[in-house]
Structure formats: C-alpha cells, structure tokens
Structure 1
C-alpha cells in the first residue's frame, strides 16, 4: 500500500471511529508512525483530506448506482435497485458511509469543498426523486409526501452501517430483499420485484477493506 493510500485508510478509520473534530494531524501521524511533516507532504490540510474522502466516496456511490440502474426503466425496479445498492454500500463500507453521512458539518460553511459535496449529494438523490416521481406519474406508486418517503427509505438503507454484521442473523441479500419489500409497500406498489445483488457493480473504496457478505450467519452454511 502506497503512502497516500495508507494516510487515507488511517484517516477514514479515525474519522469514523472518533469523529473528524477529535482527530488531529498529530494523532493521524502517530497512527501511521509518521511525522506531521510527512503527513503534510501528501495532504494540504485535515479538512482537504476529509473533503477528498467524501468526494471520492460520493462519486463512487453515484457511479455504481448508475451502473446498476442501466437498462431499468420501470419505477419499481429502479426503486428496488436504489434501495439494494444504498443498503449494500452502507453495510459493506460502514466507515466510509459514516463519514460521508455524518461529517458534512465539519466542512467550512461557504467553502467550495462543502458546496461541491452538497452538489454531489443532490445529484445522487435526484435518482431517488426521479424514480418516485415517475412512479407517481405512471400510477405505479401512491405517495402522500415524496420528500418524507424518500428520506424515510434512504434512512432505512443507510442505517445498515451501524448494525449490519456478516455473521448476524441475516445475509446481506436477505436484508436487501426485505428492505425492497418494505420500500415497495411504503409507496403502495403492487409490483413484485426480485433483485439479485451484483457485488461487482458496487463502488471500490480501497481505503476500507469491506466485510465479506458471503460469510454465513452463525450455524448456517453460506449460500
């Protein structure tokens, strides 16, 4: 692993475990057995490092989502894809997900970096808005409040970064399938959508070794 990736990996772990505010360049250097000057040789500032990780994380999520949505026009299939992909990313990359979801507050208000991250998040969320709007317009979904529905479904998916474990009671495929069922019920869709999770289409976050979803829950063989 090269030095730049080692720094990003250690920073992601510290930001996720103890928060951005509690992480200093000194503590990052100590974790890597480097000097502060050695860190600054590769990054301009702690905030720039955070923004870089958040930018790469958000771009990876959006690109992976677009790959999974390719060829899917039906609103129910698109919603199912969005639910499955967001759930899987948060389950497999919990550190990256926690930092992406929770550290926007740490970027300086009015900075170009913060504005960029907000724009990237809005661009991703547009996929959800579009799927829900198309479903309503085509009569496939019945939703009283699209914004609240979107926020509720996305919160359900992102929550897996806090509780999912590969050796838990359910496999990742089972979690995604159940969430799809819950999501379609929330929009009052009568569609029956069966999603097969293709892990090869998920983003690659090299600074975080993801958990192996093929690990079977205790007492059961892997599927």
Structure 2
C-alpha cells in the first residue's frame, strides 16, 4: 500500500494530519493504523502529532463528528423548502449518494469505524446521537409517505436500510471517469428508490451538489484510487 506524503506547505499541519488519518483509516483500518504511521505520512515525529491531537481516538471522533454534522446541516438546508414525502426522499437519496461518491475515504471512516470508539464514552454516544438525528429524516420521510398514502411499504425499517445501503455503496465503486456521471447515478438511484416505495410517477427534487458538505481533508489524490482488492467498475 502506497501512502502519498503530505508535504504541501500551504496546508496546516492539523489538516495534513487529518488527511493522512482519513486515508490510512479508510485503507487499512483504524486499529491497524499507529501514530507512527500518521507521523511518517505527514513527515512529523510522534511528538509532533501529539502537539496537534490528544490521541488517535480523539482524532477519529473529531473526523466522524465533523462529517456527521456536515451531512446533517446540508440535509436540513436541502429539505427545508419541501413538504412532499417524494421530494424529501428523493433529496435524501441523491444527497447521500453524492456525498459518498465525492468523499469515499471520509465516508468509509464515518460509516465503518464507530466500532473503534470506546463503548459508553462521550464521543461514542455523541456519534450515535448524530447518526440517529440524520436517520430520523429518512424515517420521517418514509413514515409521512405511508401515512399520506403516497408510499406503499411493507416494512419501513427494512426499506430505509436498503435504500441507505444503496446510497452509501457509492463510496466503494463510483469513479468520475466511469460510464455514468454522478448526476446520472443520483437520478437513477432516486428512480429505484421511488419505485421501491411504489410512489406515483411525478417530477421530484434532486440534491444541489453546491449545497453538499465539503471535507477539506478528503485525500484528493486517493479519491478515485480503488483498494487493491477492488475491481474497477
């Protein structure tokens, strides 16, 4: 595994550390990444890393916290003007799809490393609360659609989990130079999602990419680089 050295003098050390952490945590896992690995990636000593972060776990929690909050804030801005459940579900599908496709390393960490936070710790409980707050938007959109008779769903929880898994999967396979643009992928996923809830055919709102959260530490030179065992799609 090759980790690009992060030596841009215009980037502050804290952001360089976060970029290296996201890359390493996403590729080899939090547990397999040491402070020594982070120090080597950014050209600092171990002591230099601890000058900027109190611990490896606090660094992970900070990345997850910031990413979750960014997702929630962007989602709430996009949903605010809309009341129809179909519009809200379409926005949720297209925005979650796009965030994961555009930030594959950050979202792999955000989605996969909750297990690495100490159970019962304040950080662990906070991340769970943020996840619940985000998923509540999906629960309300589906529930409102069922109540209003515009969605027909046998099991709202299973439907929500299936749709969210479809969206988050783009962090693993989407490539900007692939056969479909991200706009096409989002539109197709929205069509699949609305068909899954048996919504009537109608024009719906799609996510404005300009409103999506930006994560400055997302490694730009690794954005389109698949893991060694991934087939290019």
| TM-score normalised by L of structure 1 | 0.92
1:182 maps to: 192
2:30 is equivalent to residue 20 of structure 1: yes
Q: Does 1:168 align with 2:175?
A: no
Is the aligned partner of 1:105 residue 2:115? yes
Corresponding residue number in structure 2 for 1:51? 61
- 1:208 equivalent in structure 2: 218
Q: 2:77 — aligned with what?
A: 67
Q: 2:92 aligns with which of 82, 85, 110?
A: 82
Report the aligned-residue RMSD. Answer: 1.2
SS of match in other structure, 1:139? coil
Quote how far apart the aligned CAs of 1:50 are: 0.2
Unaligned stretches of 5+ residues in structure 1: 212-223
For residues 101 and 4 of structure 1, the distance between their equivalents in structure 2, rounded to whole angstroms, comes to 22
Aligned match of 1:148: 158
Aligned length: 211
How far 1:210 moved relative to its partner? Answer: 5.7
1:198 aligns with 2:191: no
Cα-to-partner distance string for 1:12-44 (whole Å, 9 max, x where unaligned): 111011110110001100111100000001100
Q: In the aligned structure 2, how far is the partner of 1:194 from the partner of 1:143?
A: 19
* Alignment gaps of 5+ in structure 2: 1-10, 222-233
Cα deviations by residue, 1:142-169 (Å, 9 ceiling, x for unpaired)? 1000000000000000000000000001
User: Quick check: 2:94–2:206 contact (8 Å CA) kept in 1?
Assistant: no
Contact 1:177/1:194 (8 A) holds in 2: no
Residue 220 of structure 1 aligns with which residue?
Answer: none
Q: Secondary structure at the match of 1:81?
A: helix
Measured against aligned partners, the alpha-carbon deviations of 1:103-148 in whole angstroms (never above 9, x if no partner) come to 0000011111000000000000000000000000000001000000
Name the TM-score, length of structure 2 as normaliser: 0.88
- What secondary structure, in the 3-state scheme, does the structure 2 residue paired with 1:177 have? helix
- Cross-structure match for 1:214: none
**2:64, 2:109 within 8 Å by CA — same for their partners in 1?**
yes
- Distance (whole Å) between structure 2 residues aligned to residue 203 and residue 126 of structure 1: 19
8 Å contact kept, 1:92–1:210: no
